[in-house]
Amino acid sequence: MSESIFSKIIRREIPATIVYEDERVIAFRDIAPQAPVHILIVPKKPIATLNDATEEDRELLGHILLTAQRLAHQENIADRGYRLVINTNSEAGQTVFHLHCHLLGGRPMSWPPG
């Protein structure tokens, strides 16, 4: 896959407000937040979309969800509620082709999403 802006954030070549990092993932605040809490959880492995994940990534995908849960607690939205979103390809509105999970919270949300 071609290089994404998120690979540059992982390498600290462009700035971001990083809220969590370990050997497998990085999490930083979205530059255009859609809710009071809007964090992106990004695997360091450059997988373009969820369609490109394989059985080999099973543990990594679980780690992304558990990282989201940990950050929801850290941001004090775990009990009130939060939403996780993985936009995949054009009809879902994916704009950055490096797999990422949005953690959104801090306000009531409607369903269905737009």
Q: Catalytic site residue 100?
A: yes
Stretch that binds ligand AMP, among 23-31, 44-52, 60-68, 72-80 (CB under 6 A): 23-31
Interface characters, 25-44, with ligand AMP (x: CB under 6 A): ---x-xxx-------x----
The set of long-range contacts for 46-50, using a CB threshold of 8 Å and a minimum separation of 24, is 46/1, 46/3, 46/4, 46/6, 46/7, 46/98, 47/1, 47/98, 47/99, 48/1, 48/97, 48/98, 48/99, 49/88, 49/89, 49/94, 49/97, 49/99, 50/86, 50/88, 50/99
Q: Pick the binder of ligand AMP from 36, 62, 81, 93 (CB under 6 A).
A: 93
Residue 16 touches ligand AMP, criterion: CB under 6 A: yes
**How far is residue 30's CA from residue 37's CA, in Å, rounded to a whole number?**
9
Q: Which of 38, 63, 98, 100 is catalytic?
A: 100
| Closer CB to ligand AMP, 38 or 70, in the complex | 38
Residue 48 touches ligand AMP, criterion: CB under 6 A: no
**Residue numbers at the binding site for ligand AMP (CB under 6 A):** 5, 16, 28, 30-32, 40, 87, 93-96
Active site residues: 100
